[in-house]
Amino acid sequence: MRILVLGGDGYLGWPTAMYLSQRGHDVGVVDNFSRRLWDNELGAESLVPILPLQERVDLWKELTGKHIDVHIGDLNDYTFLEPIVRDFKPEAIVHYGEQRSAPYSMIDRRHAVFTQVNNVAGTLNVAYAIADHVPDCHLVKLGTMGEYGTPNIDIEEGFITIEHKGRTDTLPYPKQPGSFYHLSKVHDSHNLMFCCKIWGIRSTDLNQGVVYGVETDESKLDERLRTRFDYDGVFGTVLNRFLVQAVVGTPLTVYGKGGQTRGFLDIRDTLACVELAILNPPKQGEYRVFNQFTEQFSVGDLALAVQETGKACGLEVTIDNLANPRVESEDHYYNAINTCLLGLGLQPHYLSDTLLESVIHIVQQYSNRVNPRLIQPAVNWRETGSK
């Protein structure tokens, strides 16, 4: 298939491009390198060194003989995006091309406005380009489990059937997003459902949990193909932060009580889920949602798992509970449904499958690049940042 990966220089975009290329798809990537610019803004960098995108693509072709098209520009610039979609004629578009950090969106008014304009307007441009030039194309959009929040009932896959005053209907699952970033994803979901309804395009939202891991089968060909590893307090995930803290000997920073529970999945499962969605498209005019995660953990559980693995690797690992900079429930019910992708044949990798130890070894390899200042929480949800 002809597949366009938006955000193809990013943490998930680059591994996805390699994965799909390796499986014989004709792949093009689009990126404006904003993620690298945000590192400059924050004084941060990936723990794992990453090559420029063009060098990655050249190395990939040298190692595999497979070509990946590169397009550099911004999805919010329709004069840039439209001819790419028109000329490349993708049969599927994988959309990672958004600002994806909740803390970044909560820094101040400017970052909140940027996140919503960038994400919502860019996705609308993609939908228009599909409708005008490739109406049969399947948009596979990276969503987030954070759209749902932490309701006191089971989280269904995108929709819920309710009975009210003797009448029954299936409606979009109620959303309780926890940041301006997560709100932007909710707006995306509503816009895409509407676009499918009025134009007859097809779209799948992959409401993804927190992804962990840095190594894939493709990156193992050469460590220069590895994707980025973020551990800072703005873009770093909780598990990455804990693993870095374990290696450098600082306490694991658990926010609040540590009862916050979320869905998680291995990066290799993200790639498999994306291809499963592509190979099993929705019908014309259908908007569907898959909950994309394999396991559920609390923050406290993750800290204990890292502590245990660290000790097995000869590390002394302690845990600190910090005042929570976020506004969120720290003790709540959480049970999300994730049957669709499993039904399509996903074979999950689990956290217990020795992954933590292998990632610790990668962190140790690059421990000289760790900046301890970056690990501490840098953004407080309760402050506007405008004072």
pLDDT more than 90, % of the chain = 98
Q: Which CATH architecture has domain 2-374?
A: 3-Layer(aba) Sandwich (3.40)
What mean pLDDT do residues 159-174 have? 98
pLDDT in tens, 188-197: 999 999 999 9
Gap between the Cα atoms of 194 and 208, Å rounded: 21
Active-site entry in 181, 212, 287, 334: 181
pLDDT interval class at 352 (50, 70, 90): confident
- Beta strands 68-72 and 92-95: pairing type? unpaired
Question: What's this model's pTM, rounded to 2 decimal places?
Answer: 0.98
Active-site entry in 16, 144, 227, 253: 144
Q: Supply angle C-alpha 149, 237, 222, rounded to 5.
A: 135
pLDDT interval class at 296 (50, 70, 90): very high
**Closest CA relative to residue 291, chosen from 357, 354, 338:** 338
What mean pLDDT do residues 308-316 have? 96
What mean pLDDT do residues 142-166 have? 98
pLDDT over 70 (residue 275)? yes
pLDDT of residue 353: 81
pLDDT of residue 318: 98
pLDDT in tens, 70-129: 999 999 999 999 999 999 999 999 999 999 999 999 999 999 999 999 999 999 999 999
Average pLDDT of the residues of the chain: 97
pLDDT over 70 (residue 354)? no
What mean pLDDT do residues 315-330 have? 97
Q: Is 255 noted as a catalytic residue in this protein?
A: no
Active-site entry in 185, 287, 294, 309: 185
pLDDT of residue 91: 98
pLDDT over 90 (residue 262)? yes
pLDDT over 90 (residue 246)? yes
pLDDT in tens, 8-65: 999 999 999 999 999 999 999 999 999 999 999 999 999 999 999 999 999 999 999 9
Quick count: other Cβ atoms within 10 Å of Cβ 124? 18
Quick count: other Cβ atoms within 10 Å of Cβ 120? 20
The DSSP code for 281 is P
Owner of token pair 């990939």: 60
pLDDT over 80 (residue 387)? no
Q: Is 366 noted as a catalytic residue in this protein?
A: no
What mean pLDDT do residues 65-72 have? 98
Residue spans of the domains in the chain: they are 2-374
What mean pLDDT do residues 302-319 have? 97
pLDDT interval class at 298 (50, 70, 90): very high
What mean pLDDT do residues 244-254 have? 97
Q: Is 144 noted as a catalytic residue in this protein?
A: yes
Distance, CA of 39 to chain centre: 17
Say if CB 84 and CB 134 are below 8 A apart: no
**343-374 core/surface letters (b: 16 or more CB in 10 A; e: else):** eeebebbebeeebbeebbebbeeeeeebeeeb
Distance, CA of 19 to chain centre: 16
pLDDT over 90 (residue 238)? yes
| Sheet of strand 210-212, all strands in order from the earlier edge strand to the far edge | 210-212, 261-266, 295-298
